[in-house]
Amino acid sequence: MSLTAEDIQTKQFHVRFRGFDIEEVDTFLERIAENFVLLNAEKKELKDKVEKLEMEINEFYSQEKTFQHAIISAQRITDEMQEKSRQEANSRRVRVQEEIDRLRQQSIDEIERLRKQSTEEKESLAQEIAVLQENKSKVKEELRTYLQSYLTWLDRDISLAENTPLSLLQSDIMDDGQPTVADAAEVEVDGMYEKINLPDDPHPVEMEGMASALQENDSGEPDEEEDGERLTIPDLEGDMLFSLEDPLDEDEEKEPRPDRGLDEEFFHDIKLK
């Protein structure tokens, strides 16, 4: 049971013999009551302060919890972002590494393909060069053989023509009727020389016609080469010039030709006869 200042002031004591002085007791009780009132007021004030402080403390506690939650949330978000960044960095690094490996492998494959292609082209070109060189050698050998045989044939016919009298050749042709070396030579050179049959005693008008025909032939068909050889035929009722061009002169490597003066005179005499 709580004691108030009013209880102290209104408290009644029983009077007994030889007891305390009533006035002194009342004075003391009044003083106690006043002090009690002061103490109660101070107590109430302190209690209010305590309550206020407790409220502030509770508010601080609440703020602290809020801050703690915020800090925890921020830490969690930071950790999540760091983890996400780490995972993304790892994923990107893996993708970049895969792309680098792919490009490296692609470059290696492309280099290998180009190397293989260049090797195949090199081998193909080497084979083509070998074939061309072989063909060149064959053509040169065939041309050399042909020229050699042609020169041999010319030398043989020239030697036969020099050693065989003309009258004997004519008699053999007229008697036997078989082709001779001269006939073969005439067939061979028909493609290179122009055969002109001259009468035994040509008329002057016929000679003029033949000369004009030769001039028209020379003007209508120009020489194929400016350096063509010109041979002077022996005087047969007048000098005539013929263009004797050897088709073998068109070859790049010109072989030296023997002296064909006697051979040409011989064949030309045969044609004229």
Tell me the C-alpha distance between 222 and 213, whole Å.
Answer: 15
Contact (CB, 8 A) for 186 and 273: no
How many Cα atoms within 13 Å fall on the side-chain side of residue 249? Answer: 12
Q: Indicate the DSSP class of residue 93.
A: H
Mean pLDDT rounded to a whole number for the chain: 71
Contact (CB, 8 A) for 167 and 241: no
**Between 97 and 261, whose confidence is greater?**
97
pLDDT band for position 262 (cuts 50, 70, 90)? very low
User: How confident is the model at residue 21, as a pLDDT?
Assistant: 74
Main-chain phi, psi angles of 241, to 5 degrees = -105, 135
Domain map (residue ranges) of the chain:
5-78, 166-219+229-272
CB within 8 Å of 110: residues ≥ 6 apart: none
Which whole-number Å values give the CA distances from 171 to 168, 175, 176, 197, 236, in the listed order?
5, 6, 8, 20, 23
Tell me the C-alpha distance between 212 and 239, whole Å.
Answer: 14
Model confidence pLDDT, tens digit, residues 110-155: 999 999 999 999 999 999 999 999 999 999 899 989 998 888 888 8
CA-based nearest residue to 7, from 44, 41, 37, 38? 37
pTM of the model: 0.32
**Between 81 and 157, whose confidence is greater?**
81
User: How confident is the model at residue 170, as a pLDDT?
Assistant: 53
Residue 69 has pLDDT above 50, yes or no: yes
pLDDT band for position 22 (cuts 50, 70, 90)? confident
**Between 104 and 214, whose confidence is greater?**
104
CB within 8 Å of 262: residues ≥ 6 apart: 158, 161, 162
Chain CA centroid to CA 145, Å: 47
b/e burial code for range 224-254 (CB count within 10 A of at least 16 → b): eeeeeeeeebeeeeeeeeebbbeeeeeeeee
User: How confident is the model at residue 194, as a pLDDT?
Assistant: 46
Lowest mean pLDDT among 107-121, 149-163, 178-192: 178-192
Q: In sequence order, which ranges of 164-228 are alpha helices (DSSP H)?
A: 166-176, 181-189, 204-220
User: How confident is the model at residue 270, as a pLDDT?
Assistant: 45
Q: Indicate the DSSP class of residue 17.
A: T
How many Cα atoms within 13 Å fall on the side-chain side of residue 151? Answer: 13
**Between 80 and 261, whose confidence is greater?**
80
Residue 184 has pLDDT above 60, yes or no: no
| Strands (DSSP E) found in the chain | 229-232, 241-244
Tell me the C-alpha distance between 5 and 37, whole Å.
Answer: 6
Model confidence pLDDT, tens digit, residues 46-56: 999 999 999 99
